[in-house]
């Protein structure tokens, strides 16, 4: 099968597309891929590292206020559609997959105009602007959260697949995670992370919470600051604590996140959709601090889905302090019964075969397109 993938801007859009490619490689003999991303997006760095053929178009998103920049965006969109059509005619895909971000707009729209079967995947509980637009043209809309199908009432076909990224972490090796962190196997691990780039509010709360962490010797805190915050945070912590205790591990970034997640007891994080797919695939309890700086406040909607089922505690950023965070963490870590209950709830929400469900739909679309 020949597949074009498109998704960009953040890892939350890119990794699900990569997961689909990996699943297809496991299921099909000699599949062929082309990833069409943005020239300025994170995908231009991440996708080549995944050894997927990559081409780019120049595209930006619309501003929500009237602006001359929107005129330029329309011009870039039209140019992107023309360039995408040329790439699609050359590659001749059986199906085109869009996983979100502005770049999907011209790529999936171009495919629909050429009569190529298309699938778009929505990771969040509240759909993004691009996917809402594309849902009128795509053959299939796939959603990550069960019950959110009604958000695409005008689409031809809407199916619940879960997030393909979940499949990537479902088979992760916990022993490798412990080895990466340099701590004994079966340790209690609290992973605190503010997304791939870090989060200032979470960092500030963690610094405020650090003296209380000093007293939690039976728990290993893995505190991932984000590379941009790392040096300043370590300096501040050393000034505050004198020296870092052995059970407080401060890191700038984790490269093998699936393995570390597999050995995590509790996670403190933002509420990006791909990360939630990962933690529910593994049944990890969570304390979620949704970013308030996202379109339509979709991270809070994501987090509330987990909270409603008993898998998470949600703290809004405006209410976040070191003591509030410590109380939430201690209340979970200190109760084996509560941890077990939250873990079971998290697993119920997880869909470990998500990538396989998506690839099955791609085969269906491709077969229909050949008739």
What residue numbers does the annotated binding site cover?
10-12, 124, 196, 254, 299
Which of 107, 124, 89, 92 has the alpha carbon at shortest distance from 43?
Answer: 107
Give every strand in the sheet of 118-122, ordered side by side. Answer: 54-57, 32-38, 2-6, 95-98, 118-122, 140-143, 158-160
Q: Give the residue ranges of DSSP H helices in 267-309.
A: 273-282, 298-308
Residue 230: count of CB within 10 angstroms of its CB: 17
Q: What dihedral do alpha carbons 161, 165, 169, 170 form, nearest 10°?
A: 10
List residues forming the annotated binding site for UDP-N-acetyl-alpha-D-glucosamine.
Answer: 10-12, 124, 196, 254, 299
Cα distances from 347 to residues 90, 114, 125, 193, 308, in angstroms, run 43, 41, 18, 21, 14
Which of 185, 249, 242 has the alpha carbon at shortest distance from 216?
Answer: 249
Do residues 248 and 221 lie in contact, with contact meaning Cβ atoms separated by under 8 Å?
yes
Which of 46, 12, 58 has the alpha carbon at shortest distance from 274?
Answer: 12
> Between vectors from CA 237 to CA 234 and to CA 243, what angle results, nearest 5°?
95
């Amino acid at each position: 099968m020949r597949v074009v993938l498109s998704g960009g801007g953040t890892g939350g859009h890119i990794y699900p597309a990569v997961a689909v490619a990996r699943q297809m490689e496991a299921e099909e003999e000699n599949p062929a891929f082309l990833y069409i991303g943005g020239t300025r997006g994170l995908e231009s760095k991440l996708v080549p590292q995944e050894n997927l053929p990559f081409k780019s178009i120049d595209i930006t998103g619309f501003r929500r206020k009237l602006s001359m920049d929107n005129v330029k965006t329309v011009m870039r969109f039209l140019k992107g559609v023309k360039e995408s059509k040329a790439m699609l005619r050359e590659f001749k895909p059986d199906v085109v997959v869009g996983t979100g971000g502005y770049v999907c707009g011209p790529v999936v729209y171009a495919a629909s105009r050429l009569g190529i079967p298309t699938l778009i995947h929505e990771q969040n509980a509240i759909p993004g602007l691009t996917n809402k637009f594309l849902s009128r043209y795509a053959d299939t809309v796939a959603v990550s959260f069960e019950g959110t199908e009604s958000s695409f009432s005008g689409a031809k076909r809407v199916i619940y697949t879960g997030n393909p990224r979940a499949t990537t972490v479902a088979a992760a090796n916990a022993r490798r995670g412990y080895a990466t962190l340099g701590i004994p196997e079966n340790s209690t691990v609290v992973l605190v992370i503010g997304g791939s780039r870090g989060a200032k509010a979470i960092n500030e709360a963690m610094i405020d919470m650090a003296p209380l962490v000093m007293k939690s010797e039976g728990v290993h805190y893995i505190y991932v600051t984000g590379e941009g915050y790392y040096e300043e945070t370590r300096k501040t912590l050393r000034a505050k604590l004198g020296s870092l205790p052995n059970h407080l591990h401060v890191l700038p970034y984790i490269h093998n996140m699936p393995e570390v997640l597999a050995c995590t007891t509790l996670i403190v994080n933002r509420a990006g959709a791909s990360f939630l797919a990962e933690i529910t695939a593994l049944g990890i309890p969570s304390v979620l601090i949704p970013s308030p700086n996202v379109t339509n406040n979709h991270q809070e909607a994501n987090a509330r889905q987990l909270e409603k089922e008993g898998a998470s505690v949600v703290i809004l950023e405006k209410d976040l302090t070191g003591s509030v965070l410590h109380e939430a963490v201690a209340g979970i870590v200190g109760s084996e019964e509560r941890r077990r209950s939250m873990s079971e709830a998290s697993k119920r929400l997880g869909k470990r075969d998500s990538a396989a469900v998506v690839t099955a739909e791609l085969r269906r679309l491709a077969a229909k397109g050949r008739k």
